Chain A
Amino acid sequence: MTERMNKVLSRGLLHTFIIFIAILWLVPTIGILITSFRPAQDVASSGWWTVVGNIFNQTQFTLRNYRIVLSRLGIGRAFLNSFTITIPSTIIPLAIALFAAYALAWMRFFARTYIFMIMIALLVVPLQMTFIPILRIFNRSNLAGTFPGIWLAHSGYGLPLAVYMLYNFVSGLPKEIFDSASIDGASTFHIFLRIVLPLSVPIIASLIIFQFLWVWNDLLVALIYLGGTPDVAPITVQISSLVGSYGQDWELLTAAVFISIVPSLLIFFGLQRYFVRGILAGSIKG
Chain B
Amino acid sequence: MQTKKTTPWLYLAPALLVLGFFLVYPSIHTFYLSFFDRGSVRWVGLENYLHAFTNLVMLTAFGNNALWVAVFTTATVFLGLILAVLFDRVKYEIIVKSIIFMHMAISFVSASVIWKFVYAFRPAGASQIGILNAALELFHLPPVPWLIERPWINNLCLIAVGVWVWTGFCMVVLSASYKSIPKQFLEAARVDGAGEWIIFRKVIFPLLMPTVTVLATTMVIFVLKVFDIVYVMTNGNFGTEVIANRMYKEMFQFRNFGRSSAIAVVLLLFVLPMMLLNLRRFKKEGM
Interface string of B86-105 (1 = CB under 8 A from A): 11011000001011111111
The residue from B2, B102, B118, B218 contacting A268, defined by CB atoms under 8 A apart? B102
Q: Nearest residue in A to B228 (C-beta to C-beta)? A: A219
Within 8 A of B (CB), among A169-192: 171, 178-179, 182, 188, 191-192
**A197 beta carbon closer than 8 Å to chain B:** no
State the Cβ distance, A150 to closest chain B Cβ, in Å: 12
**A61 beta carbon closer than 8 Å to chain B:** no
Within 8 A of A (CB), among B266-287: 267-268, 271, 274-275, 278-279, 281-282, 287
**A160 beta carbon closer than 8 Å to chain B:** yes
Question: Which residues of chain B come closer than 8 Å to A113, judged between CB atoms?
Answer: 287
Q: Please, how many angstroms separate the alpha-carbon atoms of A153 and B287 in the complex? A: 29
Q: Please, how many angstroms separate the alpha-carbon atoms of A257 and B118 in the complex? A: 14
Task: Known contacts A113-B287, A129-B268; decide if A257 and B90 are in contact (CB<8 Å).
Answer: no
Judge whether A115 and B30 touch: CB under 8 Å. Answer: no
Judge whether B129 and A130 touch: CB under 8 Å. Answer: no
Within 8 A of A (CB), among B97-123: 98-110, 112-118, 120
The residue from B87, B108, B129, B169 contacting A219, defined by CB atoms under 8 A apart? B108
Question: Which residues of chain B come closer than 8 Å to A70, judged between CB atoms?
Answer: none
Judge whether A14 and B86 touch: CB under 8 Å. Answer: yes
Within 8 A of A (CB), among B119-133: 120, 127-131
**B52 beta carbon closer than 8 Å to chain A:** no
Judge whether A267 and B278 touch: CB under 8 Å. Answer: no
Task: Known contacts A25-B99, A131-B251; decide if A264 and B90 are in contact (CB<8 Å).
Answer: no
| Minimum-distance CB pairs A-B, first 9 | A156-B22, A217-B107, A100-B15, A103-B11, A130-B26, A268-B105, A133-B26, A128-B264, A133-B29
Q: Chain B binding site: helix, strand, loop or mixed by DSSP?
A: helix
**A243 beta carbon closer than 8 Å to chain B:** yes
Q: Please, how many angstroms separate the alpha-carbon atoms of A124 and B29 in the complex? A: 18
Judge whether A22 and B96 touch: CB under 8 Å. Answer: yes
Question: Which residues of chain A come closer than 8 Å to B228, judged between CB atoms?
Answer: 219-220, 236, 240
The residue from A22, A44, A107 contacting B11, defined by CB atoms under 8 A apart? A107
**A18 beta carbon closer than 8 Å to chain B:** yes
Further 16 A-B residue pairs, CB within 8 A, beyond A117-B279, A124-B278:
A17-B86, A28-B114, A29-B106, A107-B11, A118-B19, A124-B275, A125-B268, A133-B25, A182-B1, A213-B104, A217-B108, A219-B107, A223-B248, A264-B107, A272-B101, A284-B211
Task: Known contacts A15-B90, A126-B264, A264-B107; decide if A99 and B25 are in contact (CB<8 Å).
Answer: no
State the Cβ distance, A194 to closest chain B Cβ, in Å: 14
Q: Nearest residue in A to B277 (C-beta to C-beta)? A: A124
**A159 beta carbon closer than 8 Å to chain B:** yes
Q: Please, how many angstroms separate the alpha-carbon atoms of A216 and B221 in the complex? A: 21
Judge whether B11 and A102 touch: CB under 8 Å. Answer: yes
Looking at B43-51, B151-159, B255-263, the stretch in contact with chain A turns out to be: B255-263
A-B contact pairs, 15 of them (CB 8 A): A14-B86, A21-B83, A25-B103, A47-B128, A100-B15, A121-B278, A126-B225, A129-B265, A153-B22, A159-B19, A171-B287, A217-B106, A236-B110, A240-B231, A265-B106
Q: Nearest residue in B to A247 (C-beta to C-beta)? A: B116
**A56 beta carbon closer than 8 Å to chain B:** no
State the Cβ distance, B8 to closest chain A Cβ, in Å: 4
Question: Which residues of chain A come closer than 8 Å to B221, judged between CB atoms?
Answer: 124
Task: Known contacts A47-B129, A130-B22; decide if A18 and B177 are in contact (CB<8 Å).
Answer: no
**A239 beta carbon closer than 8 Å to chain B:** yes
Question: Which residues of chain B come closer than 8 Å to A15, judged between CB atoms?
Answer: 90
The residue from A43, A49, A127, A239 contacting B131, defined by CB atoms under 8 A apart? A49
The residue from B101, B265, B271 contacting A124, defined by CB atoms under 8 A apart? B271
Within 8 A of A (CB), among B192-243: 211, 214-215, 218, 221, 224-225, 227-228, 231-232
Question: Which residues of chain B come closer than 8 Å to A25, judged between CB atoms?
Answer: 99-100, 103, 164
Chain B CB within 10 A, most for which of A96, A124, A155, A260 = A124
Question: Which residues of chain A come closer than 8 Å to B278, judged between CB atoms?
Answer: 120-121, 123-124
